[in-house]
Chains A and B, each alone.
Chain A
Amino acid sequence: MTATRLRAVPGVVWVFLLVPAAVEIGMVFWPALNSFYLSLTKWNGLGAAQPVGLANYRELLSDDIFTGALRNTVIWAVGFGGLSVLGGLALAVALNRPRRGVGLYRSAIYLPMVFSLAVTGLFWRVQYQPDGTINTLLGAVGLESLERQWLADPDTALYAVLVAAVWRQVGYVMVLYLAGLKGADPTLDDASAVDGAGPWQRFRYVVWPQLRGVNTVVFAVTVIDSLRTFDIVWSMTQGGPYHSSELLSTYMFQQGFTFLNLGYASAIAVVIFLLALVFIITYLARATRQEVEA
C-alpha cells in the first residue's frame, strides 16, 4: 500500500525534496551536531581538536561570568518575552478597531522593527548618555534623583538594553496579534456583549481562546528571539560594565570569536540549545494538554 503510493510520486518531486534536504543536513544539521562534539574538546580553530571530555562543562560551572550570563539570559527571556507579549497584545487590542488615524499609530509602532538592531542600539545609546534625552527629561520634571548613567551602571545596564529591545519587538508582536484578532469571529463578541459580558470577560473568555494559534507563533518567535539576542547588547554595552549585561550569546561570541576558545564556546552554545529546548518543550507539552482537554 505505502510502496505503491510512494511509487506514484514523480521522480522530479524526489529531486526537489532531496536536494534541499541534503543542503539542510550538510549546511545546518551537520555543523550543529559538530558543535556538540566540539564542546567536548579544546580547539583554537587550527589543527586538530583535543578531546577533553566534560572539562569544558565543569569549567562552566565554576565560571562566575557564565553563571552571571545564565542568570541574565533567564531574566532577559522572561523580561523580553513578558513585556513584548503584554505590550504587543495591549497595543493590538487598543488599535484593532478601525478609527481615524489608527493606521498612523500602527505604522509608527511598527517602524522600529524596520531598523536593524545595531541601529536601534546606537539610537538608544545616545538617549542613555549622561547628558542624553532620558536624563534631561528626568531633570526637567524634577526627578534628578533618578538620573543615572544607565549603560555604565551595573544595576541598570541590562534593563536599559532590555527596554530598547522591547521597544523594537513590541511592534512586531502587535502586528502578529492584530492578524490574530482579525481572524476572531466578531459575532461571538457581539453575542457575548448582548448576553451582558463585560469588556474583560469578553476578552478573556471569548477573544483570548480564539488567539491560541497566534499565541503559539508569538511564543515560539519570542523565545527564539530572546535566546538569540546578541547584536543589540553588543552594540550597546558589549556585555559590560564588567559582564553585568552579559548574555550567554555575547559570552559565547567573545569566547568563540574573540579568544578562539572554540571548544568552550561550543559548550556555551550547547547550554543555549538546551535552554531553548526546555522552554519549547514545556510550552508544547502545555499546549497539547490544553488541546486534549478542549
Chain B
Amino acid sequence: MVHSELTRRGFLAGLGGLGAAGILAGCATGSDDSGSGAASSTLTLQSSLSDADPKAALTKVVEGYSKTKVTLNTIAIETFRAQLPTYLNSGNPPDVLTWYAGSVARDYASKGFLLDVSDLWTGSGPCAGFSPALKELSTGADGKQIFVPTSYYWWGVFYRKSAFQEWGVQPPTTWDEFIAVCKTIKSKGVAPLTMGTGSTPWVASGWFDYLNLRINGAEFHRELLAGKHSFDGPEVKKVMDHYRQLIEFIDPKGRSYSWQDAVTPLAAKKAGMYLIGAFVTTAMPSDAADDIDFFRVPIIDPSVPVAEEAPTDGFFASAKSRNTAGAKELLSYLASAPAQQQFIQLSKSSNLPTSQQVDTSSFAPLVQKGIKLLNESAAITQFFNRDSSDELQTTADTALTKFIDSPRDVNAILAEWQASAKKVLSS
C-alpha cells in the first residue's frame, strides 16, 4: 500500500518535473535572439503566386537579388490562403510572404504575426513615395506600417470586342442598358455572364461588392464589412434585388467551375461578359488577348460617388523571422521600381505598379485604361475578404452561392448570413 503510494507520488513529481522543463524550454524559445544567424542565413519567401506566368516572373525577380540567398516556396493559392495563419503561427515561419493589404494584413498584425516595417515608409525608404491611399492600406490599427504593396489591379466587366461586334451590342453605362445588353446576348443563345463559383465561391462576392458600392456607396460598404450594419437590413436587400435580376443571365455551369475555368466560355464566345479582376488576362488564351476589353460596372444611382475595387498585392514579413534585417532588405528590393516593372512585365498581368517611378507609358492600352478608371473614381475599396477577413468571406460564400441557387429564399439567406457574420465579428 505504502509502496504504491510512494510510486504515485514519484510519478507525480516526475510529471511536475516534465512540466517545469517544458516551461523552461518555453522561456528559452521565448527569448528574442535576433542576433543569431542574422545576415548569413537563407531567407524564405513563401509565395501564393502559383499561376505559371506570375510564378515565373517572381522567380526571375528573386534571382536578381544577390544580398542574401532566397528560397522561393510557391504554394497553390487556395492552400496558401487556408494555411497562412498556420505559416505565420509556426515556430520557424517563412521570413517574407506574398499577400494582401488592408483588413486582412491588419488582422494578422493585430495578432502580432507581422513585422513592423515603418522604417521602409519614411525618409528615403523604398515605400516613402507611395500614395497616401496605399500607405493607409498598409497601416495596422496601431499606426505602424506592416505591409509593402508592390502592385494593384482593377476590376471591371471584361468582354471580347469582336464578340460584342458580332452581337451588335455596345458597352453599357447604366443599369438599364446593361440589362438590355444581357437580354440581347441571351437572345443569341449565349450566356450573357460567366462566373466560376465552384471551387472559387468568392467570385460571387464581386457582384455583391459592386452592387453595394453602386447602390449604397463605398462608406456604407466598408461599414457593413466592419459589422456596423446588418446583412439583413433594407440596404442589403436592395442590393440583392439587383443581384436577383442578374441570375437568369449567369451561365449555370459556372457553379461547377473555378474562376479560371469560367474564362474558357468567355474566350470561346459562349459567354458574353465576366465581372472579374484584371488578372483575367493571364488566363486568357493568347489569340484572344488583344481582343479583350472591359467596361466600368454600370452606374445604378448617379448620386452615389463612383467607387472601384482595386485590390492591392504585395509582401509582408513575419514578426518571428530569424533575420528581420535581411527580410526588410528583401522587401526593399521587391518594392523598388525596377523589380516592380520587371515583375509586372514578366507576369504578363495587367497589374499596376505602386511605385510612381515606374514608367507606365509602355504598358498595354488595356492597362492604361485601367489606370484611368481608378484615377476617375471617387473612392477605392479592395475586395470582400480584403476589406473584412477570410472568415467573413466564407459567410459571404455560403450566402451568395446559396442565393444564386435559390434566389427566392433571399430573406432566410440574409438572416442566416447576418447571424453567422455576427458570430465571426464578435469572436
Contacts and interface: CB of A to CB of B under 8 A. Distances in A.
Interface residues of A, number: 24
Given A149-B255, A152-B255, A242 B402 contact: yes
Interface in B196-217: 198-199, 201
Contacts of A46: 89, 111-113
Nearest to B199: A238
Nearest to B81: A258
Contact of B391 (A131, A257, A259): A259
A280 interface: no
A64 B412 CA distance: 14
- Give the interface SS of chain A, mostly helix, strand, loop or mixed: loop
A257 B86 CA distance: 6
Interface string A120-159: 0000000011110000000000000000011110100000
A259 B256 CA distance: 25
B89 A45 contact: yes
Interface string B60-104: 000000000000000000100111011001000000000000000
Nearest to B251: A130
Interface in B390-427: 390-391, 394, 397-398, 401-402, 405, 416, 427
Contact of A243 (B82, B198, B199, B398): B398
A240 interface: yes
A242 B398 contact: yes
A46 B108 CA distance: 12
Contact of B85 (A45, A150, A238, A242): A45
Given A46-B111, A46-B112, A154-B405, A260 B198 contact: no
Contacts of B86: 257, 260
A77 B279 CA distance: 42
A241 B405 contact: yes
A36 to B, nearest CB: 16
A186 to B, nearest CB: 50
B89 A130 contact: no
A260 B199 CA distance: 22
Contacts of B199: 238
A128 B111 CA distance: 41
Contacts of A241: 198, 201, 255, 401-402, 405
A280 B255 CA distance: 39
A243 B111 CA distance: 28
A243 to B, nearest CB: 6
With most chain A CB atoms within 10 A of its CB, the pick from B83, B256, B391 is: B256
Interface string A81-105: 0000000000000000000000000
A258 B85 contact: yes
A130 B256 contact: yes
Given A129-B256, A130-B256, A44 B111 contact: yes
A159 to B, nearest CB: 16
B252 interface: yes
A260 B427 CA distance: 11
A254 B420 CA distance: 15
Contact of A149 (B256, B397, B402): B256
A241 B399 CA distance: 10
A151 B89 contact: no
B256 A151 contact: yes
Contact of B256 (A45, A128, A238): A128
B253 interface: yes
A241 B198 CA distance: 8
A215 interface: no
A210 interface: no
A46 B86 CA distance: 11
Nearest to A64: B416
A63 to B, nearest CB: 9
Contacts of A64: 416
A265 to B, nearest CB: 12
B393 to A, nearest CB: 10
Contacts of A128: 256
A98 B198 CA distance: 46
Nearest to A260: B85
Contacts of A192: none
A129 B199 CA distance: 12
Interface string A218-246: 00000000000000000000101111000
Contacts of A152: 198, 255-256
Nearest to B399: A242
Contacts of A242: 397-398, 401-402
A257 B89 CA distance: 10
A69 to B, nearest CB: 13
A243 B416 CA distance: 13
9 contacts: A128-B256, A131-B253, A149-B252, A152-B198, A240-B401, A241-B402, A242-B397, A242-B398, A258-B394
Interface of A: 44-46, 64, 128-131, 149-152, 154, 238, 240-243, 254, 257-261
8 closest residue pairs by CB, A with B: A152-B255, A130-B253, A152-B256, A242-B398, A149-B256, A242-B402, A45-B89, A260-B85
